[in-house]
Structure 1
Amino acid sequence: MSVLTNLITPQLEKIHSGKVRESFRVDAEHRLIVATDRISAFDSVLKTAIPGKGAVLNSLAAFWFEKTQDIVPNHFVKLIDPNISLVREAKPIKVEMIVRGYLTGSAWRGYQKGKRQVSGVPIPDGMKKNQAFPQPIVTPTTKEESDREISAEDLVKEGWVDAATYQKMAEISLKLFKRGSEFLAERGIILVDTKYEFGLVDGQLVLIDEIHTPDSSRFWSKEDYENHPENAEQLDKEYVRSYLLQNKKDGRYPAELPPEVVAETTRRYREIFRMITGSELPDTEEDVRQRVYKNLLKAGLIKPGFVAFVMGSPSDEAHARKMQKEVEKYGVFSELRVVSAHKNGERIPQVVEDYNLSVEPGVVVAIAGRSNGLGGALAANLTIPVINCPPFSDKTDLMVNVNSSLMMPSNTPAATVIDPKNAAQFAVRCLNLPALREQIMNEIQQMKKDLIDADRKLRGR
């Protein structure tokens, strides 16, 4: 099944990569939030991705943002793709507001060991596993490398947030929890506990990140809880946590999940989405990267393809700019980079990763003259076309040094085009973009017409 473990494109600036989500700059006021299919537990990202998980998280968060905007403004603008949201840029408050309605999870594990408070909030003696609190409680944590329980007083004392803002966050969190609990109860779901995150937009407190998703919340089947309160069916990520706890060895959790656990986790995520929204998401067999590419293109956030001009030296810039100008006529994205195969070849793996995993089609033009090791190094590692276009100073330079671009090692497929304009046009044609075929065909027809017109003029006809 298709998964989205990351989004890579040279056309968008990545500004953050978290355990599950990635952020990209759109402009000064907006960013893209990409919910990948990665899954984390116990502060670690597992090697195994969960098909469709990102679409559930992102689309469900969008659903809840719209359902709760009367309680608190949020950063959500619109869905770009089931996995991607356009949001307003916010200054995050580094505090997670965790609201608990029941004694379970880490709070219960601590309770069993005699712990009688969470984040400074007292818990009475004599409670049972999964028992409801008399009233939901707010138990904040700091957002650090490892989340840390902390009391409201210490949050203010340590400077994480001021007292007035914290009080407002706590009040809003309880209202959101009440709204979510009532809505879900009508659908046979118990909202057990959840987290909320806040930020500031132009000084205004807004809800950010996600809300009431299987990653940020714990859900139980209401019917199952009433029949088996201590072992209620879990409809969230706790299923994965339970598997990891049961298979912990020598103090370490498994780094991967077996196929049957992956399949069941996918089923649970999709089922909770259907139960909450009444809608279905795209099938997990769909090529998610192709869908993302098409939706980013449709939203005007990327161009249909890219041509990267990789120079061996800054002195090659003028040569590269000639080709870049030609490429831009076709409405494709282009960028210039400087990487020397001989002087800082250790950067080539990063270039390869940036382009091999890009969501859109691309072509690389290698620009290096004498002893062209750059084109060969790129062609040996890239899965996209590589074109050599050396910056020869004159015909003598060309005759002496062209062989280093023409003679590539075995299994190193790189074309060599001497004329910069031809190289740029060849790069665009290598993209093989349907949207450009008509434009290229018109250029071909115009070229033929110009030749015929010139011939007629010479012959006086």
Structure 2
Amino acid sequence: MHYLFDDAGAMMRTDFPLPRRSGKVRDVYDLGDQLMIVSTDRISAFDFILPSGIPNKGCILTSTSKFWFDHLDVRHHLLSTEVPTALADQFDIEPLVGRVMITEKASVVPFECVVRGYLEGSGLLEYQRTGVVCGNSLPPGLRQCDKLPEPIFTPATKAEEGHDENVRFERMVADLGEDLANTLREKSLGIYGAACEHAQRQGLIIADTKFEFGLVNGEVVLIDEVLTPDSSRFWSADVYQPGQAQPSFDKQFVREWLSTCGWDKQSDPPMLPSDVIEKTKSKYEEAYRRLTQ
């Protein structure tokens, strides 16, 4: 059995006789000189992988990343979204279609490169405590979801388990050296700016996002997923209203249900109700449609 699906038809796992590592969403296979990244339909919340998936989510993430890799003028790792012929000759690859990215191998930079254009999430919490976000001083009196005077770069260390840790840019400089840290900051802010211009034309706001980079022969390369609902906060511009939380195109319904269902966020998480699954699926689909229409 090379695939595991849940009762709703969500792909929860792949299993091929190749070297593999698995993250919260992706199964990554080593093909020798390349990687095959398979986006499953797994969904995580509060640092748990949930027992229910979101059908077709992996295809949406792959299609969204491919759109941005094609659209952005940036060196990236994506080579193809076709399933390798060698795999097709041995296995039933139909469930993989639309879920696969064949990529270059890169030496991964051990920081999340986060860019924030609006005040929400962990950035909001830090600002409310200190008036600063990862060393970036901000004007007093900002409200939840206010647009920042200009986008800020707020790196985070990559945790093997649990939450990533927001850090000051100086920590990145200390760990990576000034040249590489400055390059990552400049590239992140540039990509975010270009993406926001496109999203604005589509009636969407990209409140914040996180990028991952790697090195290929010493060259900085954009890797992993990019500007998806899993890695970014998308809001609809026509209903944007600062001073409160915004409706978003991500796992909002999942988080809200888990926060009110009685789960203690310590034990194994519960199965998701069908309506939460459907609402979440429709939000991911809407984000893709609006970005690419």
Matched, 1:103 2:119: yes
- Map 1:274-353; keep pairs closer than 5 Å: 274-278=289-293
Number of residue equivalences:
269
**Partner residue in 2 for 1:84:** 100
**Partner residue in 2 for 1:151:** 168
Structure 1, residues 253-297: CA drift from partner, whole Å, max 9, x if none? 84432211111001111111111123xxxxxxxxxxxxxxxxxxx
Shift of 1:119: 2.1
**Partner residue in 2 for 1:58:** 62
Quick one: which amino acid aligns to residue 256 of structure 2?
Answer: S
Quick one: which amino acid aligns to residue 148 of structure 1?
Answer: E
For the structure 1 residues 170 and 248, does the alpha-carbon distance in structure 2 shift closer, same or farther, using more than 3 Å as the test? farther
Kept in 2, the 8 Å contact 1:13–1:25? The answer is yes
* Aligned match for 1:8, one of 12, 15, 26: 15
Matched, 1:116 2:131: yes
| In 1, Cα distance between equivalents of 2:77 and 2:292 | 20
| Higher RCO (Cα < 8 Å, 6 or more apart) | 2
Shift of 1:59: 1.2
* Aligned match for 2:217, one of 177, 202, 212: 202
* Aligned match for 2:180, one of 145, 154, 165: 165
Shift of 1:61: 0.5
Q: Which runs of no fewer than 5 residues in structure 1 stay unpaired?
A: 279-461
Kept in 1, the 8 Å contact 2:263–2:270? The answer is no
Quick one: which amino acid aligns to residue 19 of structure 2?
Answer: E
Quick one: which amino acid aligns to residue 27 of structure 1?
Answer: G
Shift of 1:178: 0.8
Matched-pair identity in %: 38
Kept in 2, the 8 Å contact 1:23–1:32? The answer is yes
Shift of 1:248: 5.6
Helix, strand or coil at the partner of 1:135: strand
Structure (1/2) with the larger helix percentage: 1
| In 2, Cα distance between equivalents of 1:151 and 1:87 | 30
| In 2, Cα distance between equivalents of 1:213 and 1:7 | 21
- Map 1:181-200; keep pairs closer than 5 Å: 181-200=196-215
Helix, strand or coil at the partner of 1:27: coil
For the structure 1 residues 5 and 103, does the alpha-carbon distance in structure 2 shift closer, same or farther, using more than 3 Å as the test? same
* Aligned match for 1:177, one of 188, 192, 195: 192
* Aligned match for 1:266, one of 275, 281, 284: 281
| In 1, Cα distance between equivalents of 2:63 and 2:10 | 16
**Partner residue in 1 for 2:4:** none
Matched, 1:33 2:47: no
**Partner residue in 1 for 2:87:** none
| In 1, Cα distance between equivalents of 2:252 and 2:177 | 33
Quick check: which has more Rg, 1 or 2?
1
| In 1, Cα distance between equivalents of 2:207 and 2:181 | 22
**Partner residue in 2 for 1:438:** none
For the structure 1 residues 21 and 191, does the alpha-carbon distance in structure 2 shift closer, same or farther, using more than 3 Å as the test? same
| In 2, Cα distance between equivalents of 1:127 and 1:276 | 28
Structure 1, residues 438-458: CA drift from partner, whole Å, max 9, x if none? xxxxxxxxxxxxxxxxxxxxx
RMSD over equivalenced CA pairs, Å = 1.8
* Aligned match for 1:235, one of 243, 249, 254: 249
- Map 1:125-144; keep pairs closer than 5 Å: 125-144=140-159
Kept in 2, the 8 Å contact 1:218–1:238? The answer is no
Kept in 2, the 8 Å contact 1:119–1:141? The answer is no
**Partner residue in 1 for 2:258:** 244
| In 2, Cα distance between equivalents of 1:104 and 1:84 | 32
- Map 1:39-50; keep pairs closer than 5 Å: 39-50=43-54
| In 1, Cα distance between equivalents of 2:50 and 2:130 | 29
Quick one: which amino acid aligns to residue 144 of structure 1?
Answer: A
TM-score (norm. length: structure 1): 0.56
| In 2, Cα distance between equivalents of 1:242 and 1:176 | 30
| In 2, Cα distance between equivalents of 1:236 and 1:178 | 21
Quick one: which amino acid aligns to residue 18 of structure 1?
Answer: G
Matched, 1:21 2:26: yes
Helix, strand or coil at the partner of 2:11: coil
* Aligned match for 1:216, one of 216, 227, 231: 231
For the structure 1 residues 123 and 238, does the alpha-carbon distance in structure 2 shift closer, same or farther, using more than 3 Å as the test? farther
Structure 1, residues 215-270: CA drift from partner, whole Å, max 9, x if none? 000000100105x7624321123343333334465464844322111110011111
Helix, strand or coil at the partner of 1:192: strand
Structure 1, residues 145-191: CA drift from partner, whole Å, max 9, x if none? 2311111112232x2x2211110111111111111111011111101
| In 2, Cα distance between equivalents of 1:239 and 1:176 | 28
